[in-house]
Amino acid sequence: MKLALHWKILIGMALGVLAGILLRNFSWGPEFISDWIKPLGTIFIRLLKLIAIPLIIASLIKGISDLKDISKFSTIGGRTIVAYLISTVIAISIGLLIVNMIDPGDKISDETLTELSQAYASDATKRIDSAQSQKTRGPLSFVVDMVPDNIFGAASSNGNMLQVIFFVIFFGVSLLLIDPKRAGPVKDFFDGLNDVILKMVDLIMLTAPYAVFALLAALVVETSNPDIFVALMWYALSVVLGLIAMIFIYLLVVKFVIGKSPIWFLKGISPAQLLAFSTSSSAATLPVTMERVEEHLGVEKEVSSFVLPVGATINMDGTSLYQAVAAIFITQALDFQLDFSDQLTIILTATMASIGSAAVPGAGMVMLVIVLEALGVPKETLMIGLALIFAVDRPLDMCRTVVNVTGDATIALLIGKSVGKLSEPKPKNWDDNLEQVR
């Protein structure tokens, strides 16, 4: 019997956790995992990142050049940005609601507070420093940053995805405006390139179950003291409950707005969700998200090739929800009084902070500094606050990245439906690829 890809990945994850738990009992275990097993996972993440920029270029050019008229593109663009903003504000509001109901900051003892703030002080300082370098920029720098001055320079870093998208849209629109005879070969080239890159995603995904085994085994041996999870249980629970509520909302949207079955949606997107969980990076997961949304959920390339890369960069519902919960938790735990207008500040700054967060592990925590500073938390307190949540940040990062990716996929479906670009999915069978490779 052929197992579906998401089951294979799940089995890989479970075995990885088991191997990690088992091997951490041996003195040589952690070193063995970091020398011989972890590199497999690292190579996998590198491969996914390797094809992210070429995939965006090929697929967005193909997407735009398939459009019959350009005005449709501005409709897609406008609706996407509005949908992203609305979903982020909903996520933050849910976070605020739950954290204000649970009050995790009041449930933490003074000893734990002192212990954690001492143990993680230096890690916290590093995050604050990275946030400072993001902050000292003018209000329009965000727009200026979107326009590259050298396309090869822009394409040389995965952090510049918006710059690449800007160039590609400009290029694609110009392609639509020239003589179709001249445009034909260029379009054919990018069509072919797009197929090649999607095949590369297929081939990389064949190794996914082994890679997640390696990633999770390494994570387990690197995790320090499990007792801390208990101390921070209420905080972690607030974040996780909020994230689950958010997934529930996406499923409601899938059912009642898009008119599809939530199970069908989850089956289609689950490999991307599992990779988001294992890698904590929506950027690394992007090629898989694009493949799943197009081939398994039937969103046409004209929509997905724009909505998903933009979403991976600016739409982080899970991250913004987490930032809201963490901000309230920290201020509560440190007896920093907040009033109602502060909650509005959180909605505003967490929206901006999640847009500014890079799609890589731990980025959400760096941008949390900006939310806390907007609330007037002094630098000293800020450091203690971040040290407080540092120990559980990685597992929460894994969970919020799942929500980030699921949110992008839901909105891709939503926009696809709204502009009539949803078709019957034509799923490929990953195992057929395996046969070909063999």
DSSP alpha helix (H) spans, 136-160:
141-146, 151-155
* Residue 257 DSSP one-character state: I
> How many CB atoms lie under 10 A from the CB of residue 232?
25
Q: For the chain, first and last CA: distance in Å? A: 18
Interaction of residue 357 with ligand ASP, rule CB under 6 A: yes
Run of H or E including 382: helix 379-390
Q: Which residues, 6+ apart, have CB-to-CB distance to 20 below 8 Å?
A: 33, 216, 217, 218, 219, 220, 221
Contact stretch for ligand ASP (CB under 6 A) within 109-117, 146-154, 280-288, 297-305: 280-288
Interaction of residue 349 with ligand ASP, rule CB under 6 A: no
Q: Which is nearer to ligand ASP, 24 or 49 (CB)?
A: 49
Least separation, in Å, of the C-beta of 359 and ligand ASP? 4
Q: Which is nearer to ligand ASP, 65 or 273 (CB)?
A: 273
Least separation, in Å, of the C-beta of 166 and ligand ASP? 21
Contact stretch for ligand ASP (CB under 6 A) within 189-197, 297-305, 328-336, 394-402: 394-402
Q: How far is the CA of 157 from the CAs of 52, 99, 154, 283, in angstroms?
A: 10, 37, 6, 12
Which of 163, 313, 319, 331 touches ligand ASP by CB under 6 A?
319
Which of 163, 270, 273, 280 touches ligand ASP by CB under 6 A?
280
Which of 361, 385, 407, 416 touches ligand ASP by CB under 6 A?
361
Rounded Cα distance, 216 and 179, in Å: 52
Least separation, in Å, of the C-beta of 223 and ligand ASP? 17
Under 8 Å between Cβ of 385 and 330: yes
Per-position x/- string for 395-434, each x denoting binding to ligand ASP as judged by CB under 6 A, each - no binding = --x--xx--x------------------------------
Largest CA distance in the chain: 73
Q: Which is nearer to ligand ASP, 61 or 215 (CB)?
A: 215
Per-position x/- string for 124-153, each x denoting binding to ligand ASP as judged by CB under 6 A, each - no binding = ------------------------------
Structure tokens at 374: 């907007």
Contact stretch for ligand ASP (CB under 6 A) within 143-151, 209-217, 326-334, 357-365: 357-365
Q: Which is nearer to ligand ASP, 310 or 363 (CB)?
A: 363
Which of 316, 334, 346, 370 touches ligand ASP by CB under 6 A?
316
Q: What are the counts of helices (DSSP H) followed by strands (DSSP E) for the chain?
A: 22, 0
Number of residues that bind ligand ASP (CB under 6 A): 16
Interaction of residue 238 with ligand ASP, rule CB under 6 A: no
Which of 194, 281, 289, 304 touches ligand ASP by CB under 6 A?
281
Rounded Cα distance, 38 and 19, in Å: 12
Secondary structure (DSSP) of 284-336: HHHHHHHHHHHHTT-B-HHHHHHHHHHHHHH--HHHHHHHHHHHHHHHHHTT-
Helix (H, G, I), strand (E, B) or coil at 261: coil
* Residue 226 DSSP one-character state: T
Least separation, in Å, of the C-beta of 141 and ligand ASP? 21
Q: Which is nearer to ligand ASP, 67 or 396 (CB)?
A: 396
Q: Which residues, 6+ apart, have CB-to-CB distance to 24 below 8 Å?
A: 30, 220, 221
Which of 105, 287, 356, 364 touches ligand ASP by CB under 6 A?
364
Interaction of residue 172 with ligand ASP, rule CB under 6 A: no
CA angle 172, 355, 59 (to 5 degrees): 25
Least separation, in Å, of the C-beta of 408 and ligand ASP? 10
Interaction of residue 363 with ligand ASP, rule CB under 6 A: yes
Count of residues in the chain: 438
By CB neighbour count within 10 A (0-12 exposed, 13-18 middle, 19+ buried), where does 289 fall?
buried
Under 8 Å between Cβ of 404 and 317: yes
Interaction of residue 351 with ligand ASP, rule CB under 6 A: no
Residues that bind ligand ASP (CB under 6 A): 280-282, 316, 319, 357, 359-364, 397, 400-401, 404
